[in-house]
Chains A and B, each alone.
Chain A
């Protein structure tokens, strides 16, 4: 009898674990790439990078930090803090077309999924040859490194950035 009770208890614990795992919130990355940091700060050490539309599992969302969540990346290995402002609850569908428009409209999952202002549209727009993107591409190649940012903020006596509404 005791063994049966132990088995039932073990099953309940396992089931609770499964339910807990299933209940873990999933979010999607809304920016081209976003760093995963060791601490909940824009100046925290970067552990890795997440890409657009990656689904992440939320591991922790402390009440003390309005703007940061601890997540696990899609590879199951990368774990750390990401700005909440680079995430959304809804799944992002990467392809566009009539099927996605209909799906997006009926489920409300993806805003403007089929509107399709994307790379294909830009290529078509460029092919008309009227607009030169040279300087736009150059300005997007200007990257400020995390170390540069930290030095600028610290040496200039600026506040530690919390990110988002404070």
Chain B
């Protein structure tokens, strides 16, 4: 980001009219509009895909999209501005990224930690939960909000190449960098990851999947994660930490028993057909 943009923002903050706007926007920073979330998410996904290759095998892509879209219907946010879309990354690393607004990228390596539709559902439900909880947007530095207001005030009519639009685009770029760096390098906080795990259990239970599959997926991940890796080994709490938290919920009070589904064979067959050779 241009330090200059932020610097100017601090100066204009003394203007009463702008101050009022800043206050309103700071209050609203937690409620960024779905449209803006959409454009932020597109840019974050584009940045991540700049260094990662897509795996475009049709059956696998179709399957994670229909499974992921189904799971989103059981979440607290079944609809986003541009909808939920899923893409497999052609990589052995154990990784996934949930860009704001519902663009979700999962690696082949992560999908190999699953061995059933239920365990793939666990992976996707966790990523959907990050979108529902807006963890990506929360990674945007607070300083950007002030800069965004100042840029918005100066933007006027947004004509291509105009200084106002360039300033806004600068703030946009910095916000994208904040999120991308968090997703790729530092990771969300441990509390946010565990929160997404808990929400995933809820989504799975609502859908009719046995939430114990989430534990199984983490067990599979534990056996495959390589210490020192630049993937989940770097950005996520250790699988054992997550397994302990999940186990506590699954064995806690008020957890109804999940009966085996008569459609289990159908699920396993379609999982095998789509992702058996992932």
Contact = CB atoms under 8 A, between A and B. Distances in A.
Interface in A143-159: 144, 148-149, 152-153, 155-159
Interface string A70-99: 000000000000010110000010001110
A2 interface: no
A140 B85 contact: yes
Q: Across the A-B interface, give the 10 residue pairs with the lowest CB-CB distance, nearest first.
A: A157-B263, A114-B152, A111-B28, A161-B73, A105-B24, A117-B36, A105-B21, A157-B261, A120-B158, A124-B169
Given A108-B24, A144-B66, A161-B78, A156 B35 contact: no
A8 interface: no
A58 B107 CA distance: 43
Interface residues of B, number: 77
Contacts of B219: none
B33 A112 contact: yes
A24 interface: no
Contact of B87 (A113, A131, A139, A158): A139
B70 A104 contact: no
Contacts of A92: 33
Interface string B19-44: 01101110011011111101110110
A153 B267 CA distance: 10
A42 B39 contact: no
B9 interface: no
A98 B165 contact: no
Interface of B: 17, 20-21, 23-25, 28-29, 31-36, 38-40, 42-43, 45-47, 49-50, 54, 61-62, 65-67, 69-70, 73-74, 76-83, 85-87, 103, 117, 148-149, 151-158, 160-161, 165-166, 168-169, 172-173, 175, 206-209, 261-264, 266-267, 270
Interface of A: 30-32, 34, 42, 52, 83, 85-86, 92, 96-98, 101-102, 104-106, 108, 110-125, 127, 131-133, 135-136, 138-140, 142, 144, 148-149, 152-153, 155-159, 161-166
